[in-house]
Amino acid sequence: MALPNSDHDVIIIGSGAAGLTAAITLADHCRVLVLAKGELTGGSTAWAQGGIAAVLDAGDTFENHIEDTMVAGAGLNRRETVEFVVENAPHAIERLIEMGVAFNKEEGALHLTREGGHSHRRIVHVDDATGWAVQAALLRTAEAHPNITLLPGQACIDLITGRHEERYSGSGRVWGVYALDEATGKVHAHVGRATILASGGAGRVYQFSTAPRGATGDGIAMAWRAGCRVSNMEMMQFHPTCLYNLEVKNFLITEAVRGEGGILKHPVTGHRYMPDYDPRAELAPRDIVARANDDQIKRFGLDYVHLDISDKDPDFVAGHFPNIYEKLLTLGIDMTKQPIPVVPAQHYTCGGVLIDLDGRTDLPGLYAAGEVTESGLHGANRLASNSLLECFVFGEAAAKHIVRHWDELGAPPAIHPWDESRVTDSDEEVVIKQNWTEIRRFMWNYVGIVRTTKRLERAQHRINMLSGEVGEYYGHFRVTTDLIELRNLLQCAELIVKSALHRKESRGLHYTLDYPELAAEAVDTVLVP
């Protein structure tokens, strides 16, 4: 259905934790349209197994949580952001409990688990499927509010800026987004006073990723094309333990399995190797564990390594990780008795669109929250369970800033409709599939966990060649979701490689054999369009 421009005041791109938190915060003040690519539950939020980090334990302090986040982030975090998020965490948990999230309890108090990099138990969780519970509660709340319209099946193409105004302006002011209605094939202009990007990360740039199918960096690419700076795109987090199974893609074995005593072993010799790499062994930060797993696999020519928690009480294991336990049983693996085969996989995009503490981007009228952003929280490596937290805190911050500055935002001008007068339907979908596969493969091989300048330059060469091909294809054919995603994947791949070549040191998630040392000063890699 075509929606008239005046129907909504704020356009939100993404229906995960960040987008829905913003929508719910705004809904008492204005009319909100939430656009989702595919299903409303298709984002990363629903996939989050671990939980949400917050200082709730008597012996824990904000300072401890701030320090743990800074240490994991290898000095690249912005301290004021870390303080802001950590101090707002208990409030975020309270809001979720009010919305009906039934966090696990023990003797009347919230049950807190511990994960790698944390000095205290501070992870609230709903079994090992926190994301599903959070996504469901947010959706219920949003669906019940008359001022929120949820519209699935919308693939966003480009942000609407001043140059799309009927009277044309080079202001860079954002007025919404052009989106493809996947059911009808029509492109609509969704216009509002303010726009919030909450579209998630760019994990699908890689061949092996725990990210959902739709994590193609759409928001990062759209913001870049519209004129926003992006920061630290080389900081791609690889989760150390993704299930190795040729039939099942992207099944994550949560960090908490190691937190509760799971150990990593060489699958042939049974040697426990993590103490050889780091005194914190299995509880070292993710980047260290992922590199160790990658090193074992490459050095010994393995397909996978083993994660073993079978020496713990079977009832404890099955009770703590019911979803993982059940899933593995269907694949013939009993984690209470045998080890789990695991490999590293891309897991989280720590870089993204640069924002301030109000969620504002460089462009007037455009806000962003969650994995699409680089807020300064994660630095060079995200601490476990800080990701959902960032979504709640910045989703609310952006919404509150919009409400406070409502009158200054002004009503949208007349906007040109989408122009497809010069394009035809594609007769070569195979081109898209081929290029998509190629990008993901060379990004995994050349821009993965361990990098070299030569490999990065090879990737850059491939990107340059593909950019011409994809650009020409995009100019000639009608948009489809696959074409939109391919264009965005390629754009994000280019930003990642450019950032990685720029950083002449190894810090956090960016590890290069050509510059193995840490530079004296931690400096963000900021790219300007």
* DSSP secondary structure string for all residues of 490-506: HHHHHHHHHHHHH--S-
The CA distance from 35 to 3, in Å, is 12
pLDDT given for residue 116 in this prediction: 78
DSSP 158: E
Indicate where the chain has its CATH 1.20.58.100 domain(s): 429-516
pLDDT given for residue 74 in this prediction: 94
The CA distance from 252 to 238, in Å, is 11
Q: Which CATH superfamily is domain 17-234+350-408 in?
A: FAD/NAD(P)-binding domain (3.50.50.60)
pLDDT given for residue 384 in this prediction: 85
DSSP string over 295-332: HHHHHHT-S-EEEE-TTS-HHHHHHHSHHHHHHHHHTT
The CA distance from 462 to 234, in Å, is 17
φ, ψ of residue 438 in degrees (nearest 5): -65, -45
pLDDT given for residue 424 in this prediction: 82
Instruction: Give SS3 for 255.
Output: coil
Query: Any idea which residues carry the catalytic annotation?
Result: 286
Q: Using alpha carbons only, what angle is made at residue 25 by residues 24 and 30, rounded to the nearest 5 degrees? A: 85
DSSP 252: B
Architecture of domain 240-346: Alpha-Beta Complex (3.90)
Contacts of 458 (CB under 8 A, 6+ apart): 442, 446
Q: Using alpha carbons only, what angle is made at residue 272 by residues 270 and 275, rounded to the nearest 5 degrees? A: 165
* Cβ proximity of 456 and 497 under 8 Å: yes
Residue 257, classified by CB atoms within 10 Å of its CB into exposed (0-12), middle (13-18) or buried (19+), is: buried
pLDDT, one tens digit for every residue, the chain (529 residues): 234 345 899 999 999 999 999 999 999 999 999 999 999 998 888 887 778 999 998 899 999 999 999 999 999 999 999 999 999 999 999 999 999 999 999 988 999 988 878 999 999 999 878 999 999 999 999 999 999 999 999 999 999 999 999 888 888 999 999 999 999 999 999 999 999 999 999 999 998 888 888 999 999 999 999 999 999 999 999 989 999 987 776 788 988 899 899 999 999 999 999 999 999 999 988 888 999 998 998 889 898 999 999 999 999 999 999 989 999 999 999 999 999 999 999 999 999 999 999 999 999 999 999 999 999 999 999 998 999 999 999 999 999 999 999 999 999 999 999 988 777 887 777 888 899 999 999 998 899 999 999 999 999 999 999 999 999 989 888 899 999 999 999 999 999 999 999 999 999 999 999 999 999 999 999 999 9
pLDDT given for residue 4 in this prediction: 39
The CA distance from 446 to 499, in Å, is 14
Residue 147 tokens read as 């001022």
The CA distance from 405 to 332, in Å, is 56
Q: Which residues of 347-370 are buried (b: 16+ CB within 10 A; e: fewer)?
A: bbbbbbbbbbbebbbbbbbbbbbb
Residue 58, classified by CB atoms within 10 Å of its CB into exposed (0-12), middle (13-18) or buried (19+), is: exposed
Residue 238 tokens read as 């690889």
- The pTM score is 0.90
Indicate where the chain has its CATH 3.50.50.60 domain(s): 17-234+350-408
> Helices 429-446 & 453-476, crossing angle to 10 degrees?
160
pLDDT given for residue 6 in this prediction: 58
Indicate where the chain has its CATH 3.90.700.10 domain(s): 240-346
CATH domain 429-516 topology: Methane Monooxygenase Hydroxylase; Chain G, domain 1 (1.20.58)
